[in-house]
Chain A
Amino acid sequence: MFCIPYVKCLPLVALYGQLLLGLINGSFYALLSLGLAVIFGMLRVINFAHGALYMLGAFVSWWLSITLGIPYWGALIFAPLAVGLVAVLIEKSMLHQMYRLDPLYGLLLTFGITQVIEGTFRYYYGASGQPYPPPPALSGPLNLGFMILPIYRAWVVVISILACLATWLLIERTRIGAYLRAATENPVLVQTFGINVPLMMTLTYAFGAALAGFAGVLAAPIYQVSPLMGTNLIIIVFAVVVAGGMGSILGAIVTGYILGLLEGLTKVFYPEASNIVIFVVMAIVLLLRPAGLFGRAA
């Protein structure tokens, strides 16, 4: 039994269950806010379309499955690529014109793109979800002794952590990452060194979008495939990014997991506050540290 004095006592199994749920939600928050942070860090665009791209990732997996018979493992590769390709089209046709403007314009444009994508999907598929089962190898429970763990959910946590770690390593420890960080500071100078910054911006947007698509594939067997799945998540993810520090890669990852866990624990100890706890944390962070937990003050 685990107790918080004067609040509540509950069995450890229930606590572990909620921690796992928090960890799974945190995985999606981290993956999505990571993509947003990568895009904002480099392009200074607040990509409101991120939720729609996440939904697109889930829908592409579903399509691949029902039309071409491509299983989940193939979708993990092809769906992010397809979403990345859609992102290239968006960036090349519209978004690149927003770079010299205030970030508000990028936000408005991507908000409009979201409405078009989600509206189209709602028109053709309705608001109810399409079932997408987990692959057989990841189905079923795993008995850990102290709790029963659904294998697919454990997989989501592990693969998300690996994807976040790989992205962090790419940006912080590689030559490409150094180009990205430098171009964030002074894109013109980086171009005088012979680096094609416009191409890098396109690829960065595609990469951030592909991360959202990847999260969409992971989410499909858990939440079902629905045109509204991104809308439900994007506001929370924005709160995570703001609390972590706009554009901070590490901030997005760590804050995503912490707030996911916090939300899970709140569901146990004070369920009434579980829907708002993330926004309360965001507000407190903004008041005490406006640049975010991991952000650098301007």
Chain B
Amino acid sequence: MPIDGALLEIEDLNAWYGESHVLHGISFDLREGETLSLIGRNGAGKTTTLRAILGIVRNRKGTIRFRGEDLTAVPLHAIARRGIGYVPEERGIFASLTVAENLVLPPVVKGGGMSEEEIYRLFPNLAERRSSQGTKLSGGEQQMLAIARILRTGADVILLDEPTEGLAPVIVERIGEVMGMLKARGMTIVLVEQNFHFARKLADRYVVVEHGRGVDYFAASELDAKMAGLAEQLGV
């Protein structure tokens, strides 16, 4: 349901891959400074929701408003300029660029982003390997790099897709710490995550996605009461 002064408003969003209707009218709002987690089973439409917000999936219908502006007519490359950063599921580290080049690739779109020095202090592994080819990093390091390069841009909203997928528990913990720090800095985050135990440490609110629509919406404070239902819905 709409919230007054929401930063991002998604209303009745439908999306198609070719003939396949994937999103069936998902709606949610995002408030400034909060972490909203989209949870749901594999194939429920969580990743497609992020891709439709950004315009990667062009065949879509519905309302996407960011700071009151309709984003559906805004070209893909102009979305980031509004202050929305994206960390894709596959991480998207470029093989032809070094770690340092990958890090500074996204242009700074707003003031207030982290400097390279701050980022290297936050991720010392990246500092040590700044001249290595980006894809020579481990999976965890690549994930850190994918997050780090958006932190530099000054984006105030991050769409984060499955940041812990396929990573060792110790790396997941480190990424959790970094995200906790970002949250403390007031960053607004949309987190798509299969790892519910990871998401529950960070999320302020949840949207349960099923068959391309939001089927349940609740705050973190309601989580304990919802756990039994979620266990059935998500298999957690």
Contact = CB atoms under 8 A, between A and B. Distances in A.
B97 interface: yes
A245 to B, nearest CB: 13
Contacts of A197: 77
B135 to A, nearest CB: 10
Contact of B96 (A184, A191, A194, A198): A184
A175 B81 CA distance: 18
B153 A191 contact: no
B79 interface: yes
Interface in A177-211: 178-179, 181-182, 184-186, 188-198
B80 A192 contact: yes
Given A178-B101, A188-B56, A188-B76, A193 B96 contact: no
Contacts of A192: 54, 56, 76-77, 79-80, 86, 88
Interface residues of A, number: 19
Interface on chain A toward B: helix, strand, loop, or mixed SS?
helix
Contacts of B94: 181-182, 185-186
B223 interface: no
Contacts of B81: 194
Contact of A196 (B54, B77, B95): B77
Given A185-B94, A185-B96, A186-B92, A193 B107 contact: yes
Interface string B153-181: 10000000000000000000000000000
Interface in B74-111: 75-81, 86, 88, 92, 94-97, 101, 104-107, 109
A195 B96 contact: no
A54 B145 CA distance: 43
Nearest to A194: B80
Given A186-B92, A195-B107, 5 more contacts: A192-B86, A192-B88, A193-B86, A195-B77, A195-B106
Interface of A: 175, 178-179, 181-182, 184-186, 188-198
Interface of B: 54, 56, 75-81, 86, 88, 92, 94-97, 101, 104-107, 109, 153
Ranked 6 nearest A-B pairs via Cβ: A194-B80, A193-B106, A181-B96, A191-B77, A189-B92, A191-B76
19 contacts: A178-B104, A179-B105, A181-B94, A184-B96, A186-B92, A189-B88, A192-B76, A192-B79, A192-B80, A192-B88, A193-B80, A193-B106, A193-B107, A194-B78, A194-B79, A194-B80, A194-B107, A195-B107, A197-B77
